[in-house]
Amino acid sequence: MTKTLTNSLELEQAAALIREGRLVAFPTETVYGLGANAFDANAVRRIYDAKGRPATSPLIVHVATVAMARKVVSVWPAEAEKLAAKYWPGPLTLVLPKTKRVPDVVTAGLGTVGVRLPAHPVALALIRKARLPLAGPSANRFTELSPVTAEQVRRALGTAVDMVLDGGPCRVGIESTVLSLAGPVPVLLRPGMVSREQIESLIGPVLLAGAVTGLEAHAAPGQHAKHYSPRAPLRLGVPDEARGTVFLWWSVEGTAEFSVRMPNDPDRYAAMLYDTLHRADSLGPREIVVEPVPSGSDWAGIRDRLARASA
């Protein structure tokens, strides 16, 4: 049986591993992260090796306080102050010019770094006990489904991770919104459950990032055309038999068809999405079919994940 309560001894052990340059998977409110000391270039390289992640894809740095964030970035504009006051701790990453202490391997050689303050007690306790910011992408193999439980981390990474902290299932369920404040106009690099409209209500107009290629360093994680994907082919559409309000459907060779009625509320849908896809994928289906979700701005992060998973 999987434990869902990380105790203080485990946190101390995990913090010691981080200080030693080792890898620790930890829960956040979005997905599980694969953490290393953000100031240790060798430790961060272990993240890339464990995930099979290309060097063009930068990592997000997790902090426990705004004061810690300001030690990672060299500029903290008024827009960052407003957004942090409203959405931190929470699923919003801010991209800003980095300090020299952040190794280039964290940022794919770019002069900017993504930073966020997660809303999970285990993540915050780990960062505080380690007394270090954590570089932490999702704790999975690159382009595969992000994990939302500790067991999914163990299945994906096995012995490539030195320790897995179990904080139970993730509440938000998809990765954070990523917003760049590094230029004259804010740019939404990755949609998430903090919407563009919510951000604009605080700081004014926000641009949408254009397409990127696999040859250049990406301004944020999660910008590859194919990402967040189950092993089985995933397509967007309605199955051959009309299924009304069923959002997610799959079939397995030689067995009955399976379907899940997904919620019509975007927050609840996001919280269920990856776990449902993990469960479907574990049955070895020929394909997974997901019905299109609504077009509203509060569904933008979910539409982005499904579009990349089906690419």
Q: What is the pLDDT of residue 246?
A: 39
Are both 113 and 253 inside the same structural domain? no
Are both 74 and 200 inside the same structural domain? yes
User: What CATH number is associated with residue 90?
Assistant: 3.90.870.10
Are both 185 and 85 inside the same structural domain? yes
Are both 175 and 263 inside the same structural domain? no
Average pLDDT over residues 38-52: 98
Q: What is the pLDDT of residue 117?
A: 98
Strand partners, 103: none
Does any domain span residue 213? no
Average pLDDT over residues 233-241: 74
Does any domain span residue 217? no
pLDDT digits (tens, 9 = 90+) for 164-204: 999 999 999 999 999 999 999 999 999 999 999 999 999 99
* Sign of the CA dihedral with 238 first, then 234, 34, and 219 last: negative
Average pLDDT over residues 256-281: 88
Residue 241 has pLDDT above 60, yes or no: no
Lowest average pLDDT, out of 53-67, 83-97, 208-222, 230-244, goes to: 208-222
Are both 157 and 280 inside the same structural domain? no
Strands 234-236 and 287-290 turn out to be parallel
Quote the percentage of the chain above a pLDDT of 70.
87
Does any domain span residue 226? no
Q: What is the pLDDT of residue 72?
A: 97
Q: What is the pLDDT of residue 255?
A: 55
Q: Select from 167, 191, 208 the last residue of a domain.
A: 208
Q: How many domains does the chain have?
A: 2
Q: Give the residue numbers spanning the domain of 136.
A: 8-208
Does any domain span residue 215? no
Q: What is the pLDDT of residue 235?
A: 87
Does any domain span residue 76? yes
pLDDT digits (tens, 9 = 90+) for 92-128: 999 999 999 999 999 999 999 999 999 999 999 999 9
Are both 74 and 129 inside the same structural domain? yes
Are both 159 and 303 inside the same structural domain? no
Q: Give CA–CA dist 195/186, Å, rounded.
A: 13
pLDDT grade for 50, boundaries at 50, 70 and 90: very high
Q: What is the pLDDT of residue 3?
A: 44
Does any domain span residue 143? yes
**Rounded to 5 degrees, what are φ and ψ at 175?**
-65, 165
Are both 159 and 273 inside the same structural domain? no
Q: Select from 162, 193, 208 the last residue of a domain.
A: 208
Are both 53 and 174 inside the same structural domain? yes
Lowest average pLDDT, out of 84-98, 128-142, 164-178, 281-295, goes to: 281-295
Are both 261 and 193 inside the same structural domain? no
Q: Select from 170, 193, 208 the last residue of a domain.
A: 208
Q: Give CA–CA dist 182/222, Å, rounded.
A: 18
pLDDT grade for 215, boundaries at 50, 70 and 90: low
Q: What is the pLDDT of residue 251?
A: 52
What Rg do the C-alpha atoms of the chain give, in angstroms? 19
Does any domain span residue 190? yes
More confident of the two residues 220 and 49: 49
Q: Mean pLDDT for the chain?
A: 90
Tokens of 42: 């060798």
Does any domain span residue 227? no
Residue 250 has pLDDT above 60, yes or no: no
* Strands of the 33-37 sheet, one edge to the other: 163-164, 24-26, 33-37, 134-135, 60-62, 112-116, 92-97, 177-180, 187-190, 207-208
Average pLDDT over residues 135-155: 96
More confident of the two residues 2 and 147: 147
Are both 201 and 282 inside the same structural domain? no
Are both 163 and 301 inside the same structural domain? no
pLDDT grade for 213, boundaries at 50, 70 and 90: low
* Strands of the 287-290 sheet, one edge to the other: 234-236, 287-290, 248-251, 257-260
Q: What is the pLDDT of residue 249?
A: 66
More confident of the two residues 57 and 211: 57
